[in-house]
Amino acid sequence: MENVCITEVALRDGSHAIRHQFTVEQVATIVKALDEANVPFIEVAHGDGLGGSTLQYGLSLTNEFELIEAAVANAKNAKIAVLLLPGIGLEKDLKQAAQLGVKMARIATHVTEADISPAYISLAKELGMETVGFLMMSHMAPTAKLVEQAKLMESYGADTVYVVDSAGALLPHEVKEKIRALKNTLSINIGFHGHNNLSLAMANTLAAIEEGATRVDGSIRCLGAGAGNTQTEVLVAVLDKLGIQTGIDVYKMMDIAEELVAPILQKPQEITRDSLVLGYAGVYSSFLLHARKAAEMFNIDSRDILLELGKRHIVGGQEDMIVDVAAELAKKKDVTIG
Could you give the residue numbers annotated as active site? 16
CA distance 236 to 253: 8
Assess contact for 264 and 18: CB atoms under 8 A: yes
- 13 annotated as ligand-binding: yes
Assess contact for 186 and 154: CB atoms under 8 A: yes
Kindly state the DSSP code that residue 261 receives in the 8-state scheme: I
Which parts of 113-192 fold into alpha helices (H)? 118-126, 143-156, 172-185
Bridge partners (DSSP) listed for residue 79: 41
Bridge partners (DSSP) listed for residue 109: 135
Percentages of the chain per state (helix, strand, coil), in multiples of 5? 50, 15, 35
- 195 annotated as ligand-binding: yes
- 173 annotated as ligand-binding: no
Which parts of 53-142 fold into alpha helices (H)? 64-73, 91-100, 118-126
The amino acid sitting at 184 is: N
* Residue in 259, 206, 264, 212 with CA at minimum distance from that of residue 231: 206
Assess contact for 78 and 39: CB atoms under 8 A: yes
Rg of the chain over all Cα atoms, to the nearest angstrom:
19
Question: Residue 106 to residues 16, 35, 48, 191, 275: CA-CA distances in angstroms?
Answer: 17, 20, 12, 11, 25
- 12 annotated as ligand-binding: yes
Assess contact for 332 and 100: CB atoms under 8 A: no
| Sequence ranges of the binding site | 12-13, 166, 193, 195, 284
Residue ranges for the binding site for Mn(2+)?
13, 193, 195
Residue ranges for the known binding site for substrate are 12-13, 166, 193, 284
